[in-house]
Amino acid sequence: MALYDTLFSQLDVTSSQYLVTDTEFRDTSFRKQLSETVKSLLSLKVIPIFNENDAVSTRRAPYEDSSGIFWDNDSLAGLLAMELKADLLVMLCDVEGLYSGPPSDPNSKLIHTYIKEKHQCEITFGDKSRLGRGGMTAKVNAAVCAAYAGIPSVITSGYATDSIIKVLQGKCVGTLFHRDAHLWTLVKELGVREMAVTARKCSRQLQAMNSEDRRKILLDIADALEANESLIKIENEADVTAAQNDGYENTSFIRLISFLQISGLAKSIRVLADMEDPIAQVLKRTELADGLILEKTSSPLGVLLVIFESRPDALVQIASLAIRSGNGLLLKGGKEAKRSNAILHKVITSAIPENIGEKLIGLVTSREDIPDLLK
């Protein structure tokens, strides 16, 4: 409590400790008085800090007995959120949020939105907290109870900078619990890691092709762009209109749009297709011994991640270069041109043959997905 007093005093904020036991919560009048007391403290700009009154706890084994209305600070937080009709419950832990398995397992994935019907049987919990009775299991149980009572809950890291502020700003951090999460439209999208793995598999098929087959893919893409010019214009103009409505003064960087520009993009792709194959070119030969020659040859890198500004024409150029060089590709363009990027991505991938797969090129739509790829 002394730490809270010290930290809040630096902000000229008063804090007040409130010790409770689960027995008190059985009293209806206490619950009503609790709510009124908290409202009164907040009106006076006093921050109430709740904790269990261990000195008078009725549990025989405090760290093992899970009977009663609450039995750790996680369940106490959930209970208080419901009693006080909070707008939001945020629980901090030592990891980024709820993972599909132990956070130390490299195969575990961060769950951004918890859906009880989907995740309840899929999650494997690790060890509980070394510092108390709680752990991720206790936090999830408390968050689920609060969420189903109508209080959105978030589990996120207490070590990350400004994590609470980011939650309040609505940013995608931690794991969100909401009673209507199962009703939200679940778009079947690959996670960014799966997207990268799939692009890698597709790139191997692309690399197995000869130069002429890769050339034909580029020619098909050029034809597809010209065939879908009117659709590209519609989506691009929608981006321009949205940018103007959002107050952007210069939207010229978004405009693709005259037939000559679409035609110019298609022409540049055809020129690239006719260039010398960049794969398996001998760059250097070194004779190490009689009859033993070491060759340095060009080869695909694998999967490229390219982040670019709101220039949809850049998407076409980057995708064409990736295909010609036998690489898989993940693209992240500026949000101001999201509709233009989406239609161009669709047109390009639809021209990729089935034996390669349209997932050779992935489109990353969220900035928050990028850190997952860089881990």
| Residue 282 CA: distances (Å) to CA of 72, 174, 214, 286, 294 | 66, 48, 19, 11, 10
Domain 2-183 class in CATH: alpha beta
Q: Is the pLDDT of residue 25 over 90?
A: no
Q: Is the pLDDT of residue 357 over 90?
A: yes
Distance CA 56, CA 64 (A): 16
Q: What is the mean pLDDT of the chain?
A: 85
Helix (H, G, I), strand (E, B) or coil at 367: helix
Residue 127 has what pLDDT? 55
Cα 194 from chain centroid? 13
Both tokens of residue 300? 């695909």
* Residue entry with tokens 């020659």: 293
- Please state which of the ranges 24-28, 29-33, 343-347 shows the lowest mean pLDDT: 24-28
Residue 69 has what pLDDT? 59
pLDDT (tens digit, 9 = 90+) per residue, 126-149? 555 444 445 888 899 999 999 999
HSE of 26, CA atoms in CB hemisphere, 13 A? 5
CB-count burial class (<10 Å; 0-12, 13-18, 19+) for 35: middle
Q: What are residue 304's phi and psi, to 5 degrees? A: -100, 140
In the chain, domain spans:
2-183, 192-374
CB-based contacts of 337: which residues, under 8 Å, 6+ apart? 236, 239, 254, 310, 311, 312
pLDDT (tens digit, 9 = 90+) per residue, 203-218? 999 999 999 999 999 9
Residue 41 has what pLDDT? 92
CATH fold for the domain made of 192-374: Aldehyde Dehydrogenase; Chain A, domain 1 (3.40.605)
Distance CA 155, CA 36 (A): 27
pLDDT (tens digit, 9 = 90+) per residue, 63-121? 444 445 566 788 889 999 999 999 999 999 999 999 988 888 888 888 889 988 788 77
Both tokens of residue 45? 């700009």
pLDDT (tens digit, 9 = 90+) per residue, 244-282? 787 776 655 555 444 448 889 999 999 999 999 999 899
